[in-house]
Copies of this chain bind each other. A is one copy, B any other.
Amino acid sequence: MSEINTQTNSTHGRKSSRSSSRRRGARRKAARKLRVVPLGGLGEIGKNMMAVEYGDDIVVIDAGLMFPSEDLLGVDLLVPDFTYLLENREKVRGVVITHGHEDHIGALPYLLQSLHVPVYASKLSARLISAGVKQRGAKSKLDLREVNAGERINLGSLSVEFFAVCHSIPDAMGLIINTPLGTVVHTGDFKLDHTPVIGQPTDLHSLALLGTQQVLLLMSDSTYVELPGYTPSERTVAESLERIISDAPGRVIIATFSSLLGRIQQVLDIAAKSDRKVLITGRSMENIVKVASDAGYLRIPPKTLGKYEQIHNLPHDKVVILTTGTQGEPTSALVRMANREHPQVRIVSGDTVIMSATPIPGNDELVSRTIDNLFRLGANVVYGFQSRVHVHGHGSQEELKTILNLVRPRFFVPVHGEYRHLSRHAKLAQQMGVAREDVFVLNNGDVLELTESVGKVVGRVSAGDIVASGPMMGPLDPNMLRDRRLLSRDGVVVVTLPFVPKKGTLMGEPAIVSKGFVDTRGDGDIMRGAQEAVMSAVGQGRRTAKDRAALESQAREALAKYFFAKTHRRPVIIPVVTGI
């Protein structure tokens, strides 16, 4: 720790002597500060987005979406809150994209609806962005600019250099952002795979070089900070896959993420070696294999890719079926196979199914059910950590330490992860010598302001949960959610009270309709009893028209009491008084 602090104390002088342009910048804007404003991806997995701001210039890093947890009933997608960017729209110079996963690019179609700025991305990321914008039907013109690792772009007083990182999708990049105050390094999602299957290893040379100068701020991926050691290389999966495929007595069905091109490459290569044809099913897998082989990311061995129609003609031990569905997605090909709903593939004894992925937190139950169903149909299912058919795309503790040690930043902000991941990464950074007061565990919306020597959270901007559905976006309404939660538990009962204003009495019996409340096969008695309960509560006496609210609440209370006594349940009760 002391070593780093010593370096830090001499930073200003050393940097000034190194770069005259920076020195001039620092002088001219002596009062200026660097602002880092996370708008997503902190304290949560997904919807990554961050603003880096200096003077009149904002660079946006990534614009991702997030699939909500199950308790957000009926919510399809969450995207970051763009309010801060829209309020400062004239400052935003562009969006730089680290890689093409949905949690980094998926919100672009929404952002670009109201903010027309260039988007800088690698070749593969750019293709995926185009496809996503088209699919979500965004109408604005897309100003997409392809960049490569090693390139540098100028965005006002800031410039961004891209460097290669290794991740579970090719063409991923980290960012070196040069600011008048110093250098900011953002790793993006990364692991230190020294033998990746596609593309280059993470560019440790550039980071090492930066580490010999003074880096102002490091922002580094925290997703797998809980895992000790190193994340194994993508290549280590080949051995297990090869053994399982060559031992398999019948068909092999491999499910993985469609963006995990390194895995797909390995499956193609092993199938070629094992004299099996690879048949692809599932729209996203078909698309990516086409796009990625056209763009040169996949090398398809000759005669390996079969046409899907061949499935009924090939001997079972000559077939590998490649598909998605590792997260138990109900409409995926694999889940339809597990449920005997797939039009072409009927799982039989002798089939081997390889789950070449781990469940994303929240999907465990769907995945378990899929595996159980495949076992029920007689398949041999290979899954889980022990089977070594998957490796993660994020660095583990030792990799995170390597980055901290190479970059040796003055300030550290852990990014990408739940709050516990950020906390543990922060602690790791302190163990590696970053001073406690120079490490910031931020929440989305926090405004971190840095000078060359001091960092401080100076305020908060809007960063709530924003729901996207179809082309629409809007803030999450807690009342709506609460109502959905109540409805999901015990259903709804509608009671109609036909009121006759002139007489001030009910005209006939109340009508009661329920949905999702009690067993629909034998609810006659309960509903008749409910009618009586309402009648005896509100049926007597003369009322005037202003009694509507009283009528409603009497009916609601009488029914709530009656239903709880009869069924121990508390449905949502909606009284409708007519005639008033």
- Let me know if B368 and A418 touch, CB within 8 A: yes
- Choose from B472, B485, B487, B574 the contact partner of A567 (Cβ within 8 Å): B472
Q: Is A362 part of the binding interface, using a Cβ–Cβ cutoff of 8 Å?
A: yes
The answer on a CB contact under 8 Å between B372 and A419 is yes
Flag whether A299 is at the interface (Cβ < 8 A).
Answer: no
- Taking a contact as CB atoms under 8 Å apart, the answer to whether B520 and A381 are in contact is no
CB of A494 within 8 Å of the partner chain: yes
A231 within 8 A of B: no
Q: Are B574 and A513 in contact (CB under 8 A)?
A: yes
Is B43 a contact of A372 with CB atoms below 8 Å? yes
B515 near A574 with CB under 8 A, answer yes
Contact of A492 with B by CB under 8 A: yes
Q: Which residue of chain B is the closest to A386 with respect to CB atoms?
A: B228
Given contacts A479-B520, A480-B518, contact A487 B494 (CB under 8 A): no
A496 beta carbon closer than 8 Å to chain B: yes
Copies in the complex: 2
- CB contact between A520 and one of B470, B480, B569 (< 8 Å): that residue: B480
A362-B365, A470-B568, A515-B483 given as contacts; is B420 within 8 A of A520 (CB)?
Answer: no
Task: Of the listed stretches A68-76, A89-97, A232-240, A251-259, name the one at the interface; the rest are far from the partner chain.
Answer: A68-76
Asked if residues A365 and B361 are in contact (CB atoms below 8 Å), the reply is yes
Taken together as a complex, chains A and B put the C-alpha atoms of A480 and B516 apart, in Å, by 4
A579 to B73, CA, bound (A): 36
B368 touches A420 (CB 8 A): yes
A417 nearest in chain B by CB position: B372
A487 contacts which of B226, B471, B491 (Cβ < 8 Å)? B491
Given contacts A361-B368, A472-B567, A487-B484, contact A578 B479 (CB under 8 A): no
Q: Mark A468-481, 1 if CB is under 8 A from B, else 0.
A: 01111011010111
- 0/1 per residue, A358-374, Cβ < 8 Å to B? 00011011001001110
Q: Cβ of A423 < 8 Å from any Cβ of B?
A: yes
A511 at interface by CB-CB < 8 Å: yes
Known pairs A488-B488, A498-B579; A226 contacts B483 (CB<8 A): no
A372: chain B residues at CB < 8 Å are: 43, 418-420
CB of A244, distance to nearest CB on chain B (Å)? 15
In the complex the two chains form, is A492's CB within 8 Å of B492's CB? yes
Instruction: Tell whether, in the assembled complex, residue A226 and residue B574 are in contact, meaning their CB atoms are under 8 Å apart.
Output: no
Q: Is the CB of B578 within 8 A of A226?
A: no
State whether the Cβ of A163 lies closer than 8 Å to any Cβ in chain B.
no
Query: Which of chain B's residues has its CB closest to A418's CB?
Result: B372
Query: What is the 8 Å Cβ interface bit string for chain A, positions 548-580, against chain B (1 contact, 0 not)?
Result: 000000000000000000011100101010110
Q: Which residue of B lies closest to A362 (CB)?
A: B365
User: What are 27 contact pairs spanning A and B, CB under 8 A?
Assistant: A43-B372, A70-B365, A73-B489, A227-B386, A361-B368, A364-B364, A368-B418, A469-B569, A477-B518, A477-B519, A480-B491, A480-B516, A480-B517, A480-B518, A481-B516, A484-B488, A484-B490, A484-B491, A485-B488, A487-B491, A492-B492, A496-B576, A496-B578, A513-B576, A515-B572, A515-B574, A578-B579
Contacts A361-B364, A375-B420, A487-B516 given; 19 further ones with Cβ under 8 A?
A43-B376, A74-B490, A228-B386, A361-B368, A362-B364, A368-B418, A371-B420, A373-B419, A469-B567, A469-B568, A480-B517, A483-B491, A483-B515, A484-B490, A487-B491, A496-B496, A496-B576, A498-B579, A515-B572
Across the A-B interface, the 8 shortest Cβ-Cβ residue pairs: A470-B568, A488-B488, A483-B516, A487-B487, A484-B516, A74-B489, A372-B419, A477-B519
A residues whose Cβ falls under 8 Å from a Cβ of B? 43, 69-71, 73-74, 226-228, 361-362, 364-365, 368, 371-373, 375-376, 381, 384, 386, 418-420, 423, 469-472, 474-475, 477, 479-492, 494, 496, 498, 511, 513, 515-521, 567-569, 572, 574, 576, 578-579
